[in-house]
Amino acid sequence: MQAGIRNWVCIACFVLTACGHAAATKSSPHQTKPASEQIVIDLAAGPANHFSPDQAFGAVVDGLQRGRVAESYTPYNIAALKRAGLRPIAYNLRSELGIEAWHWSEEGTWSDAAHNQGYWTGSDHPQKPVQTGWGYFLPRRGDTTDQANDSGYSRIDDGDTATFWKSNPYLDSAYTQHPARPQWVVISLADTTPISAARIQWALPYARRFEVQRWTGVDEYDDEGRWVTFDHGRVTNGSGGDQVLRLGDAARRTKYVRIFLQESSHTAPPQSHDKRDTMGYAIREISLGTIGRDGAFHDAVTHAQNNEDQTNIYVSSTDPWHRSTDRDRDAEQPGYDFLFHSGLTNGLPILLNVGAYYDTPENTAAQIRFLAARGYPVGKVGIGLEPDGQNISPEDFAEMYRQTAAAIHAVAPQMKLAGPGLQDAVSDTWLDDTPDHSWTRRFVQDLRAHGRLGDLNEFTYEHYPFDTACGAIDEKLRGADTSLADGVARLRSDGVPATIPLSIVEYGMSAFSGQSADEMPEGLFSAGMVAKFLTLGGQRTFLLGYGAEDLFEPENDCAGYGELMLYGQDANNRVSWHTPAFWAMQMLTQQWAMPGEAQHALYRATWQAPKSALPNAVVAYPVRRPDGRLALLLINRDKTQAHRVGISVINQAGQRGTELHGPFDVIQYGPAQYAWQADGANGHPIRDNPPRQMTVDGGPIDLPAYSITVLRAAYP
């Protein structure tokens, strides 16, 4: 179908949407075949949870490519986005994922103002409107890869001795008020390699005491793995400079080598006037390998100024020092003035996620002062995003969480805090030989040990259950509930108290792009995930992909072109066609639930199916709405088989009633309304219609294959 025709169809869809979807039709009450399956609603057990749509159903505003803020968030596009009914907003910070410092305002001060460099603190009373925010690359970066655009590289093996990595000075005892924890550098060699020598070219401050260690495990998560110091790898009187170490008489084969840094020299270059320059550790370049009989060093590390060629380096922390010239010009975020005046926030308090590990507490405090001065509503402040994905130790992150929390409370004492924004509920530490590998448990325990667990008012994490969008997608869908429930159970068993609510700050079937993200599976997943999470006691969810996008080339060819999003866009960056995720969210927020702040009571239901049915093919989520009606969300995850279901109720007295009687309002969406045409980057729907609405007198309900149904009835 031509683009112009697709746009014309889309305009028609918007008209229908604005008028409350297509006109409702009357369906015959007579069924030719009785139901062989039952949905049993259990009211006797009481509500599984209560929720408010204005809290539970949210979306993420995140970083975008350069120039995309103004293009994406036009009044026309924002009006289209709001039709999905996702009202609360989480402001996620892409700079924290990209190992970048956050400039939420371009007005502010540098710690070294004469050279426009150092540690940045934004102005809490800027003269110009804050329309756009930017991340700034960290020139003292140690990690080869990051969790954002992955466009940076490590300075430890970039082949340039004029550059260096430096650890975060805020982890020094001067800031922590207790003995500083060791910092580290891990070199991940291309393969298991014989190592008997190391060359460390130190910057300032260097390590007076450190150890060079090898990992003995078969992989990064081997429970039997241990960090073993090389025979001559312990240094107790380091003096910096260009240091060559013979680590042993014989080479030891390993894939991972760690420089374990235990005591800093606390020295800085002569021209330095900032105490933070003396804190932590700094290394210009590291080489590992063997020394031949001729005395030549044979280096197993590849040194390069890009992350594709250089040997992978991981570090415990990075100094947020940077320069005015370090701005990442390929990414941007909506500025706070733009965000709150655009209508995106719907006038509701936002969940504001701020930097913790790659920013400074002073800059975070300034932005809280700015938001308060502007009168912008902030419900909670989330500290950090994906620290587990960056291989940050839970204890080090807990330290920065506490410092950031203290800075926030110094200017806003009553502000509630959230975090840590884990990349997954199941989060184990990496290359770790301590007895407890649970990232979550150690983070919670560290806050508790310092008397600061009260600073964690909401535990946040992301949920992308599948690594790729390949394979049997329908089987993955049917297993999604188990994955979600296991994650919630793991968080509680890892020590997150029941008094701290859980929220999901991003979700999708997979964090990697694929065609299924723009087909029925993503819609089925999103609706089911939100309803299941609330049933499990979760507090709120925020959908990633709140906007219109182009299709992305997949990392795995088997996945096909696609992108997590509510809409596709045309050549002028205008909202063009819907994805099933859009209709799924609209059915959830406006048909299953009643929009607004009123509380809804969510109950449990079971599907009684014949033995021949696929397990977990049909799920049901009943909710008692504020208008007294009973609404039932029904999702058929069977790709090929329709299911006819009768609906019965166990009432509050525990009595099993007859089938639920009509009349029913039925809203239904599936392949009859949507079909996809794969065509690489030009893929598009060849059928994109709103859900069908019907009035049904009673009897069993037919659930088409791969469909979402909302049924509403008066009960009792």
- Nearest-angstrom CA–CA distance, 216 and 10: 58
- Nearest-angstrom CA–CA distance, 685 and 689: 10
DSSP designation for 552: B
E-strand spans in 625-706? 629-636, 643-650, 656-659, 664-669, 674-677, 684-688, 692-696, 701-703
Handedness of CA 139, 141, 142, 146 (dihedral sign): negative
The first and second tokens of residue 570, run together, are 């045309």
DSSP designation for 115: G
Q: According to the model, what pLDDT value does residue 658 have?
A: 59
The first and second tokens of residue 249, run together, are 């008489």
What is the Cβ-side half-sphere exposure of residue 607, based on CA atoms within 13 angstroms? 22
Per-residue pLDDT tens over the stretch 562-615: 999 999 999 999 999 999 999 999 999 999 999 999 999 999 999 999 889 999
DSSP string, 163-228: --EE--GGGSHHHHSSPPPPEEEEEEEEEEEEE-EEEEEE-SS-EEEEEEEEE-SSSTT-TT--EE
Per-residue pLDDT tens over the stretch 326-379: 999 999 999 999 999 999 999 999 999 999 999 999 999 999 999 999 999 999
Q: Is 558 exposed, middle or buried (0-12, 13-18, 19+ CB in 10 A)?
A: exposed
Which pTM value belongs to this model? 0.94
Which residues fall within 8 angstroms of residue 147, CB to CB, at 6 or more apart?
A: 97, 98, 386, 389, 390, 423
Q: Please check whether residue 206 is in contact with residue 284, taking contact to mean a CB–CB distance below 8 angstroms.
A: no
Q: According to the model, what pLDDT value does residue 655 have?
A: 75
E-strand spans in 518-609? 540-543, 548-549, 567-569, 575-578, 600-602, 604-608
Q: Please check whether residue 352 is in contact with residue 395, taking contact to mean a CB–CB distance below 8 angstroms.
A: no
- Nearest-angstrom CA–CA distance, 602 and 667: 19
The larger pLDDT score, comparing residue 271 to residue 488, is at 488
pLDDT at 401 over 90: yes
- Nearest-angstrom CA–CA distance, 205 and 222: 33
Handedness of CA 437, 439, 445, 450 (dihedral sign): positive
Identify the structural domains of the chain with CATH numbers, from first to last. Answer: 3-46+604-714 (2.60.40.1180), 51-108+329-598 (3.20.20.80), 165-319 (2.60.120.260)
Per-residue pLDDT tens over the stretch 230-246: 999 999 999 999 999 99
Phi-psi region of 344 (alpha: psi -120 to 50; beta: other; left: phi over 0): alpha
